[in-house]
A and B are shown apart, each in its own frame.
Chain A
Amino acid sequence: MSKFIASAAIRGGQEIVKEADQLLKETLEKYGPEQKVGFANTAYYLPVIYAYTAHKVEKLGDMIQPMEQAKALLPRRMPTEKLWLPYLGETLDAGVATLFAEEIISGVRHVMGVQPEKQNGYTYNGPIDDIQLRTWGIQLVDGRMPGFAAIVGRAKTNAIAVKIVRELQQRNILIFLSGNVNGKGIVEQLLEEGVELGYDTFTVPFGSDTISAIYALGFAARSALTFGGMKPGQAKDVLLYNKNRVHAFVLALGEVDDLKYATAAGAITYGFPTIADTVIPNIMPTGITKYEHVVSMPFDDIPGNDDMERAERLIQRCIEVRGLKLQITKVPIPVSYSAAFEGERIRRGDYQVEFGGRGGVTFELLLSKKLDEVEDGKITVVGPDLDAMPVDSNQPLGVVVEVAGRKMQKDFEPVLERQIHHFVNMAEGVQHIGQRDIPWIRIHKNSVARGFRLRHFGDILYARLHADFGAIVDKVQVTLYTKQDKVRELREQARQVYNERNERAANLTDESVDTFYSCTLCQSYAPTHVCIINPERVGLCGAYNWLDCKASYEINPTGPNQPVPKGAVIDESKGEWEGSNRFTYQHSQQQVNRMTLYSLMDAPTTSCGCFECIMMIIPEANGVMILSRDDPSMSPVGMTFSTLAGMAGGGLQTPGVMGHGKFYILSKKFIPKEGGFKRVVWISSNLKEELAEGIKEVCQRIGEPDLMDKIADERVATTVEDLVAFLETKEHPALSMEPIIQ
């Protein structure tokens, strides 16, 4: 807590409480305690006081009690030079006292008939009525409105004031306006510029002084009572509701005086941070608010070419500080965009330009950056665009996507990067294949004729990353390069990143993490099946690895991928932990008590139905066979894949038979208890070929460099007799291992 802010807020609180007290006394003398008090068209009395204390103010006399409470809340002493105390509590108390005092003053003003305020022929709005509260409240609750901005003070110029309001309106953010600096406020500035204010334009001019900003907090308090199901007086719940669900912030324009500090302190109790465009102390640690409490962003120091750009950045920063999430529903490109175009193929002769493919130079790279290093929505094309390229030509292309987000992690980069393919492919007339440094892209002539340009790649990525990954991504900027030299140069840098990622993935071991992830997507047809996905073992379907699940959980915390704390180890070599057992038991309809993650013979993983491979022991060969889903031929055990799958699938746990993902074969955690890869005596030939490189490495690693050739497939053995004969000729090591069935 800043001592400066604490002192100012407490001073401001003392002043306004005194003023309110005085005003209340005078009004009581004049009108008497029975005089009716209340804001127009609301069932919530004086809403801040009502929400905080459940006290109903219906008459002037009813204000005495909250007035006394405000006085009692005021801290007795100011922070001193000598005695340093954690004065956060005092400051917030002063803030609440300020809110009570401001609301009392507003109530008295209603009695005096000076609300809504009239000035220079303009009538301000005053408090928001209940009908409007419901209309906006529903939009705030369902997310169509990301939040509200309470702007207090005056912008540096009228043009900046207009820009700020436009930036907020564009994002559907509700705007509450009040206050002034030296007699002139933002409302006047906007009126001078002919900006239309009112409910229809999401702009509500409360009044010309700071006190009228209390209506914003009254609105917030009523939201919690209306939509949060809170009862008046449940102060803590009301405040937490606001912190977690009413995404509001205070934007202080111009000089911040004591009363503004005091009001801001009151707003902080709701979890609403303050952003100021002047030099004031920052309060950066999180706590009462979700992120920073007070952020100073002196307007003239904001980077930007002109004031308009600075205003834009200021609003960006407000959105970051409050953690607002914007909804983007439509991808703004001149061609159709839907899943129907995903598998589209564009033939030679039909495309205007081709990127990559044989001999082409392309790459796609997604990087996470710091929040202040990314300008949200910035899309740049460096080099010639589609319409400037010769028809039918092959061109270089580098796509660099930079994202930033409070919850973004470096590990999510590849997860998001892989989505580029999926996102771009959905545009009509765009064919996209491959990723990293092998993308192969074709763009149809018709699409170019309809105005499709390279920047639309950026538009697609911007919109979809926000829409689908908004939980982890706050900002997206995209740069597309089309000059040969530049693309080559950047591709080298990108390759370094890919290598680092490969190494990271290789070093990501089960021992190095304390949490695995579940996947229960398949429970729709295999109710007792639970996938536990660990870094060294992909999901059975091969579609989800540990990092994907981790990201998926961040994006969708109630979804099918949940964290599974490993807990105490039971048997490391079999891959059995207390945590994974507990999770499996709870999520398998209490059918599976134990599940080892690495063993084929002892409580193996359950099998869903969409596993890429199925592994089964062949006792006669003292080993295991691995049958691929794509292999329709007969296996040595006398069953095809589909027969075996029918036997093992559906959520069953069958010792000796197990569904698994392809890449599990290459894992260091491949059935270690049963002897590891040395046990493999038979693999479907298509799988053997597909994973040839990886399998060779595994053979090297386990000290059996010739093992690959000793493993049979359907071309040499479809019966046990043939298999055993083949293994004996080749002297397969499994034959001399200890018996697989003990």
Chain B
Amino acid sequence: MPPVETPVEKWAGKIHEVNLGGDARRLVVGGETTLPFLHFEGAIPHPPAVAVEVQDRPPASWAPELRASWGEAMEDPASWAKKAVEYGADLIVLYLSSAHPDDQNTGPQEAKKTVTRVLSTVDAPLIILGPGIAEKDNEVLVAAAEAAAGRRVALGFCEQKNYRTIIAACMANNHVAVAKTPVEINLAKQLNILICDMGLAPDSILMDPTTGALGYGLEYTYSVMERLRLAGLQGDKMAAMPMFCTVGEEAWRQKEARATEGIPAAWGDIATRALRWEELTAMTLLLAGADVVVLRHPQVVQRIKATIQKLMTKE
């Protein structure tokens, strides 16, 4: 059989390189000049990063399987983050969940305290997320931004309806913004443009195109991410931001990751199934172009890290 030549695409664009972290530990994501793991075609200077989700108070609604895996560490975000780093997390996503008005409605002072404690415990770069209520997000993220000055963290979520305050906080303290849009390529791009219009540099944005879990719209997510990445590689600078995916959150809220009763025997053991659900979701999104995947289960962190390492090995 005659040898088949591998078709090689020449891309005009490059994904922005986003720097995170302080002097003690830096992390760069992005910088690709080709599609995921196609080493023969272009450069992939930095492996996709694995983040672990840490909440500022124990998440009561998490599956028992998950809670058991972290144990007492969950009682304190700093210890949780420390343990996450021991499991191999490249960075920590710190959810200020307690600030939600339906939760403990904590304010900027508490946020400042939590962020300061986590930052003084771990060197790993931080991504800080608000509770998802515009008013509260602005309150706690501005405080968090000040507390994290000098450590270049990422702050989110900036959304079309609420991004200006968070962006201002990013600009004032040299942080990175996480821009979230609802599974739509044009909206993703437009939000990036709006953020850049305010004066934040394109290399200070991570974009979350919003992801679904395996079996819950994953293929649609995949194709939006793929198209964003293609647009970025074709030279569209406003679509060339590294992508950020909240995998754990999506995977662990699905029935398949939680149900133990009233399901077919073929579904098998819950622990195996739930972990696979998170792992497969993460793997799929990495293949779609994710640069940061946020995971919940420590074993999945290790599995994904190992898989990334294999995929990053050039033959």
Residues on A close to B: CB < 8 A?
134, 137-139, 141-144, 226-229, 241, 245, 520-521, 523-524, 527, 558-560, 589-590
Contacts and interface: CB of A to CB of B under 8 A. Distances in A.
A137 B194 CA distance: 18
Interface in B153-202: 164-165, 167-169, 171-172, 184-187, 190, 193-194, 197-201
B199 A229 contact: yes
B66 interface: no
A227 B186 contact: no
A228 B168 contact: no
A558 B190 contact: yes
A589 B234 CA distance: 9
A241 B146 CA distance: 23
Given A134-B146, A226-B172, A227-B172, A141 B186 contact: no
Contacts of B200: 229
A138 B165 contact: yes
Interface residues of B, number: 26
Contacts of B168: 137-139, 141-142, 227
A558 B164 contact: no
A250 B48 CA distance: 51
A558 B197 contact: yes
A527 B165 contact: no
Given A143-B164, A227-B199, A134 B172 contact: yes
A218 to B, nearest CB: 17
Query: Quick one: which of A142, A143, A559, A590 has the most chain B CB within 10 A?
Result: A142
Interface in B198-212: 198-201
B227 interface: yes
Contacts of B167: 141-142
B267 to A, nearest CB: 33
Contacts, number: 58
A590 B186 CA distance: 16
A520 B186 CA distance: 8
Contact of B172 (A138, A245, A523, A560): A138
Contacts of A524: 184-187
Nearest to B191: A558
A141 B171 contact: yes
Contacts of A227: 168, 171-172, 199
Contacts of A527: 185, 227
A227 B164 CA distance: 12
Nearest to B201: A229
A144 B194 CA distance: 17
A523 B169 CA distance: 32
A527 B184 CA distance: 10
B127 interface: no
A394 B194 CA distance: 48
Contacts of B138: 142
A226 B168 CA distance: 10
Contacts of B197: 558
Contacts of A521: 186
A446 to B, nearest CB: 30
Interface string B33-69: 0000000000000000000000000000000000000
A142 B172 contact: no
B194 A558 contact: yes
Query: Quick one: which of B167, B168, B194, B234 has the most chain A CB within 10 A?
Result: B168
